[in-house]
């Protein structure tokens, strides 16, 4: 066998090896893309489940503790007319409600959706902001919200004030 034949066989073997390597890399990329897609879907589902759990917990508290429900309704009427201890409890209740909404909002943004995808919760937020007592509480408190959520609430609050 001469060296030219050996060289040609080596080139052919090299070409086959490169082809096999490229096929292997393509299969790996495809599998990785599928795993990444499944991971994104799982994260979105987990975010939705956390949002549902958080909202359900607040509703459960209101159902199990009628005095909290009454406090919420009284506070909705007017925060300023509540007694000091009621104002404190109403404020804590609103902090929990807004905290749950902020969590949902931030999770929505973090999974790649924009604030426009927050339509259902926007209606809930608007319903809350329509209450005079909530607006009074917001004026007298300084919630430590993330800037994106603060901006969202401010925009919704401005829209509500224009409706009134």
DSSP codes joined into one string, 67-121: HHHHHHHHHHH-STTS-HHHHHHHHHHHHHHHHHHHHHHHHHHHTT--GGG-HHH
Q: How far apart are the C-alpha atoms of 159 and 47, rounded to whole Å?
A: 28
Q: Over the chain, what is the mean pLDDT? A: 87
Residue ranges making up the domain that contains 115: 3-163
4 three-state secondary structure: helix
pLDDT tens digits, one per residue of 60-100: 988 999 999 999 999 999 999 999 999 999 999 999 999 98
Tally of domains in the chain: 1
DSSP codes joined into one string, 25-61: HHHHHHHHHHHHHHHHHHHHHHHHHHHHHHHHHHHHH
Six-digit token string for 87: 């104002």
**In which band, very low, low, confident or very high, does the pLDDT at 152 lie, cut at 50, 70 and 90?**
very high
């Amino acid at each position: 066998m001469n060296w030219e034949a050996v060289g040609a066989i080596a080139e052919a073997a090299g070409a086959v090896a490169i082809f096999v390597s490229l096929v292997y890399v393509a299969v790996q990329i495809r599998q990785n893309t599928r795993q990444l897609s499944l991971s994104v879907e799982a994260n979105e589902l987990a975010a939705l489940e956390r949002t549902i759990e958080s909202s359900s917990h607040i509703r459960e508290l209101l159902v199990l503790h009628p005095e909290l429900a009454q406090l919420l309704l009284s506070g909705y009427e007017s925060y300023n007319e509540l007694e000091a201890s009621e104002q404190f409890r109403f404020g804590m209740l609103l902090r929990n409600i807004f905290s749950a909404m902020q969590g949902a909002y931030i999770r929505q943004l973090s999974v790649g959706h924009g604030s426009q995808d927050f339509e259902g919760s926007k209606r809930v937020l608007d319903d809350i902001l329509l209450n005079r007592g909530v607006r009074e509480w917001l004026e007298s408190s300084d919630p430590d919200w993330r800037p994106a959520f603060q901006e969202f609430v401010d925009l919704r609050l401005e829209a509500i004030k224009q409706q009134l």
